[in-house]
Amino acid sequence: MTTRRISAGTAVRNTVLVLVSLLWAVPTWLLVVNALVPAADYSGSPHWLPHGGFGLFDNMSQAWTRARLGPAMGNSLLYAVTSSAAAIVVATTAAFATVIMPVKRKTLWFWLIYSGTLLPLQVFLRPLFLAYARTGLYDAQIGLFLVYVAVAIPFAYFIMRNFAQTLPGEVIEAARLDGASWWRVFWQIHVPLSRSAMVAAFVFQFVAVWNDLLFGITLSTSRNIRPVMAALAELQGNYSNVGPPVVLGGALLVSLPTVVLFFSAQRFFVSSLKLG
């Protein structure tokens, strides 16, 4: 009887997971199917099944040329790599200080740092815009870099703190008894042990920065500064005459780097989630 109940529960769980997965896959399916339609043959209504000719590469080519996706993808790559790496360094250091080191009020420090994720990003737009306009950071790469680092730190800290709590305290105690300084413990013990969690946090933040549109269109105007999502949004502007298949082809094209990164770091991603 118990075995039958477990089997029935497993079957129900697997069925629910499959249904949820299919539901999540519907937008991706619609994106791919409609990106395949040649722009000249698009009727104005979305297709659920492949229809007409194969215009994916032509749509991608038009999106690449008209939106200047090459320089924009270079900008996003710069922002995503540098800001994510800087945020991971800060978050790892903060996690080490608030979990491993004997500091007071550890819970207070956690909420003080993590509270940066509790407010919607739209709250920061007006003060950021005014401050950037007065300090010369508006429409500058350093300005976008700073805001991306600040936004990425709280969630990266959340991941690194949870992972740090799973690390064996005996290793740290043994190192301290042998006379190792906190600086040495951090770089030679904590960082190597936290490598998988750092990679997972980097993937999270890279995807978030790469997909950002809000700060990209608010804090920049020049095409040599704007990230890729802001450049892609220009294809849907009032003065754009391209069809939806071109926009979808561009969206599919700019999503490839995040997909490649995720599958490349999947081993670190899964292992860190299991431990953290």
List of residues 6+ apart from 186 with CB closer than 8 A: 93, 96, 100
Does position 5 have pLDDT exceeding 60, yes or no?
no
pLDDT at 275 over 90: no
- Nearest in space to 205 (alpha carbons), one of 122, 273, 243, 262: 262
Q: Is the pLDDT of residue 274 over 70?
A: no
**Mean per-residue pLDDT for 263-275?**
66
Fill in the amino acid letter for 32: V
> Is the model's pLDDT at 170 over the cut of 60?
yes
Helices 256-264 and 244-254: crossing angle in degrees, nearest 10, is 30
Burial of 1 (0-12, 13-18, 19+ CB in 10 A): exposed
pLDDT at 152: 93
Q: What are phi and psi of 49, to 5 degrees?
A: -130, 155
Which pLDDT does position 77 carry in this prediction? Answer: 95
Q: Which two tokens stand for residue 98?
A: 């608030």
Q: Do 52 and 40 touch, CB atoms closer than 8 A?
A: no
The pLDDT score that the predictor gives to residue 227 is 94
Q: Give the tokens for residue 213.
A: 């549109």
Let me know: does 99 contact 190? Beta carbons within 8 Å: no
What distance in Å separates the CA atoms of residue 142 and residue 129, rounded to the nearest whole number? Answer: 14
Task: Name the percent of the chain lying above pLDDT 70.
Answer: 91
- Domain architecture of the chain: domains with CATH: 61-275 (1.10.3720.10)
Beta carbons within 8 Å of 237's beta carbon, 6+ residues apart: none
pTM of the predicted structure, to 2 decimals: 0.84
Please name which of 261, 232, 224, 210 lies closest in space to residue 69, comparing C-alpha atoms: 232
Inter-axis angle of helices 256-264 and 266-275, nearest 10: 60
**Average model confidence (pLDDT) across the chain:** 84
192-251, pLDDT tens digit by residue? 888 888 998 999 999 999 999 999 999 998 888 999 999 888 877 644 677 788 888 888
**Residue range 104-132, pLDDT digits in tens:** 888 888 888 888 788 888 888 889 999 99
**Locus of tokens 């492949």:** 50
Output the DSSP codes for 150-175: HHHHHHHHHHHHHHHTTS-HHHHHHH
**Whether the predicted pLDDT of 59 surpasses 90:** no
Question: Phi and psi of 180, rounded to 5°?
Answer: -70, 135
How do residues 68-111 score in pLDDT, each as one tens digit? 888 999 999 999 999 999 999 999 999 999 988 888 888 888 88
Other C-beta atoms lying within 10 Å of the C-beta of residue 61: 15
